[in-house]
Amino acid sequence: MDTSAIISNKRNPFRDIHAGALLALVLTLLGCAHQPPTIAFIPEEPNDLWEPAHIAATNAARGSGFDLYWNGPTRRHDVQRQILILDHAIQKGVQGILIAPTEPLALMTPVQRAVSKGLPTVILGSPLPLPATGTLSYVLNDEDEEGKLAAVRLGERLHGRGSVAVLGVHPGSASLFLRLRAFENALAVEFPGVTITSARMGSADEAEAEQTARELLNSEPNIDAIFALSAVATLGAFRALRDEQNSKVLLVGCDQQYDLLYYLSLGKIDSIVAENTYEMGELGMKIVIAKKRGENPSQVIKVKPVLITLENMSAPEFVPILIHDWRPMP
């Protein structure tokens, strides 16, 4: 019997493994070759404020040839985590960056690293102390308009007379400073009969914000209204008023979150001045894509916030800002 024929016809398992590995490598390389370029979106923290921007940026990238990479800190004010995510995105070779900075000063150097590599970078929401350049752009919330909207709302609801306290002051936040200054100026000009009795410091911690609101109500039991500069300050004020069973004090807050919108729908909060983060995300993504195509879009854009009340919160024009609808836009 000719055993050589049998031996020659036997399959060599090591040869098969080698061929399989080679095929897998080829397929992997082909997959990488066809993987679309990526634009990173790094929000400041996990809350409802930036999810509309996530949806809008995804819609804006659809059909452009770019993918969106979304990743952000899992804790509030975790600036070190945001910096790590930004540096990792740069190392991965992303083609552009959208970022809503947690702490503007701390993000300066990491953002400059991205810009120095020629990556189109768009700062969303709050500015950094860096000038706009050919690579660095801004799509910002209009803080002047936010303060004015709150002042007009309170002035009208108080019929031009009364007292208001401010919660959530943050000396390190240029955005909140501008918001407060615009509020003060608008009241002084349009409603001089409404006086600001105090302005109290804010906190990123909800329990601390609530305690500050309680202290305010105890020390100023006769105030007519509260203007809360942030979502955390608004939530703290709401809880303090609820526990005190105080329905006489008007509460106007800032920055949308689902729990605040729910309380607004119950009539427990007078109104919320909401940032239009949907438009910010859409514009930011379009700017990065335009720059990658060699175009010269606007370097600085301010997006108008909107006043949300019980009467208008279901209006169609506000749905993209308030509802996280992932269905593709027509």
Average pLDDT, stretch 263-288?
A: 97
Task: Tell me, yes or no, whether 47 and 102 share the same domain.
Answer: yes
Q: pLDDT band at residue 329, thresholds of 50, 70 and 90?
A: low
The answer to the question of residue 268 being in a domain is no
**Residue 28: is its pLDDT beyond 80?**
no
pLDDT digits (tens, 9 = 90+) for 38-67: 999 999 987 789 999 999 999 999 999 999
pLDDT of residue 39: 98
Task: Tell me, yes or no, whether 201 and 173 share the same domain.
Answer: yes
The answer to the question of residue 261 being in a domain is no
| Percent of the chain predicted with pLDDT > 70 | 88
The answer to the question of residue 324 being in a domain is no
CATH number of the CATH domain containing 149: 3.40.50.2300
Task: Tell me, yes or no, whether 190 and 206 share the same domain.
Answer: yes
The answer to the question of residue 238 being in a domain is yes
Task: Tell me, yes or no, whether 177 and 127 share the same domain.
Answer: no
pLDDT digits (tens, 9 = 90+) for 175-190: 999 999 999 999 999 9
**Residue 29: is its pLDDT beyond 60?**
no
Per-residue tokens: 69 = 């990479």
Q: pLDDT band at residue 308, thresholds of 50, 70 and 90?
A: very high
pLDDT digits (tens, 9 = 90+) for 114-151: 999 999 999 999 999 999 999 999 999 999 999 999 99
The answer to the question of residue 17 being in a domain is no
pLDDT of residue 217: 95
Task: Tell me, yes or no, whether 168 and 119 share the same domain.
Answer: no
Distances (CA, A) of 138 to 49, 82, 133: 18, 18, 10
The answer to the question of residue 296 being in a domain is yes
Task: Tell me, yes or no, whether 159 and 213 share the same domain.
Answer: yes
Mean pLDDT value across the chain: 89
pLDDT digits (tens, 9 = 90+) for 224-243: 999 999 999 999 999 999 99
Task: Tell me, yes or no, whether 251 and 152 share the same domain.
Answer: yes
pLDDT of residue 31: 47
> For residue 101, with 0-12 CB atoms within 10 Å meaning exposed, 13-18 middle and 19 or more buried, which class applies?
buried
pLDDT of residue 328: 62
pLDDT of residue 7: 38
* Cβ-Cβ contacts under 8 Å for 152 (sequence gap 6 or more): 186, 190, 191
pLDDT of residue 207: 93
Per-residue tokens: 73 = 């800190």
> Which range (142-151, 202-211, 309-318) has the least confidence?
202-211
Task: Tell me, yes or no, whether 229 and 289 share the same domain.
Answer: no
Using DSSP, state whether 178 is helix, strand or coil. Answer: helix
Q: pLDDT band at residue 326, thresholds of 50, 70 and 90?
A: confident
The answer to the question of residue 325 being in a domain is no
pLDDT of residue 75: 87
State the residue range of the domain holding 163: 143-255
Task: Tell me, yes or no, whether 132 and 149 share the same domain.
Answer: no
Task: Tell me, yes or no, whether 158 and 235 share the same domain.
Answer: yes
Task: Tell me, yes or no, whether 288 and 229 share the same domain.
Answer: no
Average pLDDT, stretch 310-330?
A: 85
The answer to the question of residue 29 being in a domain is no
Task: Tell me, yes or no, whether 134 and 281 share the same domain.
Answer: yes
CA angle, 283 then 286 then 288, to 5°? 110
Report the domain count for the chain: 2
